[in-house]
Structure 1
């Protein structure tokens, strides 16, 4: 199904008062070839909501090879809790090997994180998205300066395969972290045990650390870089539209 830019804008406007569940119902009804991108707490809220609509909802995740052990355990808990298949996308081994051979295992501290993320995250994501017509993410507007204006539904021109349209849904865009965690606690939703150790936003092990009281959640990600650069490329459309 191909939608014009105006149709997507109108759809986004019409959804402003919709609940995340209502948005998911529309997304899953309109697109058969759609999947949820799973990595963190927000994404499991989406899985919890979506499986109440369609128990066979498709879910995928990215394994960069640098994740915490707790994250892998979290992945298994979600799989078992919702009895769903989670497709795991891996980076191209040759590209990882070349990067490590030429620059070592921690070049991102010196060269910024974008090259490493491009190989370990963006390329596998693009490979997956090339097979989809639409995808669903757990982005929130208050997560970082680059996400202040994310819509509920948008055309993702940054990651779409050549000649294809890709529609992106952000059902939790208007939710706060507090609201996400109220839902998690109220519905006994699984979460990463790292959250109990001061981690708020969880990514790869070398690039994630706990945050202190009153620090913004994204200060624990790529802390050596400026706040407006804290996108790994998975949501490159944010930078394009900023």
Structure 2
């Protein structure tokens, strides 16, 4: 398998951090984007570039575009991993709360894809990380109105983009994850223990991003060992 140019968002910790290490160890070139670039920069990986990135900043998307144009030339894999999780009763969830969550989980995903698309070609793969909470008919949890609805939005966005760009042979897929033991989960649900670790889930996403587009396009895959 030839080396790929990979862009990953939300890389300062959790699944994103583990993904960067997996791709780097396999010899791929990685652009790691997160508000805090230090955890990745401190690894000192030769084939990884990390810089601070804010999903709400138009200037930061321009920086990404410039980097791709000068260094990558093309993007083989984009993993939209960055996420904001808010656990708050709906009656207390303000418009500003919704806007903050949607800026990261929906608008940021959309703009990152739009930024990378001109550099993508046939067999490029866009993988967006969603949640089981965003899947229609799945078990829902109180307090996650903003989070789960935003994750439902990117599922529909993925389906739409796969149709709109089907002639380009670029693939768009979305993974709805069950609970994964990450810092973000611990912050939102203190004391909850998930069965899957960040490194275990990263391994699955790593493999899927490299090969899943051979079998899927415009598809939602539920990555959860719980029922329903």
| Fold shared per TM-score above 0.5 | no
The structure whose residues are more often strand, as a share, is: 2
TM interval, shorter chain, is: 0.3 to 0.5
Higher relative contact order, chain-length normalized (CA < 8 Å, sep 6+): 1
